[in-house]
Chains A and B, each alone.
Chain A
Amino acid sequence: MPEEIYSQLMKELSEGKYVFTGELEPEKAGNVNEPIAAARDLIGLVTACNVTDNPQSFAYVSSLAASYKIELETGMECVYQLRCSDRNRMALLSDVLGAGTLGIKNILALAGDHVALGDSPDTKPVFDLDSTTLIHMIRKIVDEGKDLGGKEIEDPPKLHVGGAAAPGAAHLKSEVAKVKRKINVGVEYLQTQVVYYPEILDKFFTELGPVDVPILVGIFPAKSFGAADFFDKYVAGVDVPPDYLANLKKTKEIKDKEERKAEVDRVNVEFFTDFLEYLKGTPAAGCHMMAVGYPRIIGPLKKVME
């Protein structure tokens, strides 16, 4: 656990409290009205919200600008996601210092999806650093007040750095070795990619063994069949269970919008109640609920854990 605590997220994790985090997605727009509205709905339900950085390599409002604006207007603590796909080490350093300047207290350091998978596939991919070296750089900035080249940083930012883990990785051993590498370089918390199957998470925790770093397990309650289907088809390392998908598909037949929404909620609560009950018995320190655009489901799901 870190010696100094700068954020509410880190405070609750270090106190051993079971932590919930949410996810907000800036859009392709000249404003962040939608994630601000979603953040307002999540106040009191989650400790902090991740603010995505060009997810799936679709270019949206800068996650730094969005994180700042969301914290300013709603008071929701943000986890500023920062990926290496689009920035070299200089730009990453600038953005980390920028985050400190704007009062951001949590960063999630990610390699990021390849730009070829997104909406501007002709983009030149950067990946000057990777998730591990970005975590290393951030710790060096915060702890030593130095950049990668050892140059002094005046008034270094005070923030925490997290990393990602993929329990469903096709080659688990190399994934776990990478997670250990991130832990060795000083990652302060981990959030996992979406998991649907207990046996996948069990295998991951067994392979990893006991670690000091808190791990928040990712779940994705989908607000519609389309959202779940997209996840299943296009997100690497994630298989959505066919029964859950089929139940969501059936809701498409309901004509009345309110009835359909209620049925989607019922399907999600039914599926995730079992999973969350199971989660209580694992080493997970909390749950990262990636319910983008679906804040109303978080309250009912949290009840399961009470």
Chain B
Amino acid sequence: MIAQEQKPIEEILGYLEGKENVVLLGCGGCATFYHTGDKKAVDDLAAKLKSAGKTVTKISMPLGMQACDTEKSAIFLQKEKSAVENCNAILVMSCGDGVQVVTEYVDDEMGLAKSVIPANDAIGLVGGGPFKFKETCQSCGMCELGKTAGICPLTACGKGLMNGPCGGVRVDDKCEIDPEKDCAWVKIYKRMEKLGELDEFIAMRAPHEWSKCKRPRLFELEEPMGMMDMMGAMMNFNTITGYMSMMLAKPPEKEEEK
């Protein structure tokens, strides 16, 4: 999922200077998961905007209805069509994908010229949880994990080296630019050692093929996911056992600060 955090309110209000009438659009995708686009987040930000003198129309999108999906954003923008038409700005509580899908829809389909402003900063694709998440993949279009013992050095190494480690490994095998972060290449070494693959560690890996990541990348799906597909995907025996296990499990405890 795409991790994100809300921008400082001062920055948001800076973008909204002179724009008194605001449509505030949440997101039922990743932003809901990270509490930066769910109904409560929409209500909280709306309250701050109101206390700064703005007139706010709130639109929250339920879980599974994400702003980056044109069809879904369209439903909620059309529902508040007159507010969208009359506003000075649309503030979108999603990652940059959601913001830009809304921009394009409002421009091209609604035929309106509106400022569309991000409320969040997207941090990137992350995995892990429930409290701590880590960026491990940058969707480069050419996965190298098969050559690096399942750890992506392009993402996990501060320098993105294909043939590390660099000379900056700190004591405790941390990264030279951040003592909080592990050196990806020491981790790769240790995994390869365990797997008996140290010859592969010593072999040179060719420079990464960035040609697989010509931006902006376009992607086409022959058969888009329909409503029935989505329901089918949710209604599966594993769904029930999965949710049951999560309900019965002990809630996660946050690590004590050392």
Contact = CB atoms under 8 A, between A and B. Distances in A.
Contacts of A177: 189, 198, 201-202
B75 to A, nearest CB: 38
A180 interface: yes
Contact of A178 (B165, B171, B206): B165
A185 B206 CA distance: 11
Contacts of B186: 171, 174
Given A133-B163, A171-B183, A178-B163, A184 B202 contact: yes
A54 interface: no
Contacts of B168: 113-114, 236-237
Nearest to A237: B167
B165 A175 contact: yes
Given A111-B161, A171-B189, A184 B167 contact: no
Interface stretch (B23-31, B120-128, B172-180): B172-180
A193 B167 contact: yes
Contacts of A181: 163, 201-204
Contact of B167 (A164, A173, A180, A185): A164
A174 B163 CA distance: 11
B210 interface: yes
A117 interface: yes
Given A111-B159, A111-B161, A175 B167 contact: yes
A132 interface: yes
B207 A184 contact: no
A122 to B, nearest CB: 14
A181 B163 CA distance: 9
Given A114-B176, A116-B177, A133-B207, A173 B163 contact: no
A125 B159 CA distance: 7
A128 B189 CA distance: 21
Interface in A107-121: 111, 113-114, 116-117
A180 B162 CA distance: 15
Interface of B: 158-173, 176-177, 183, 185-186, 189, 193, 198, 201-204, 206-208, 210
Interface of A: 85, 89, 111, 113-114, 116-117, 125, 127-133, 136, 148, 164, 166, 169-171, 173-175, 177-178, 180-181, 184-185, 193, 236-237
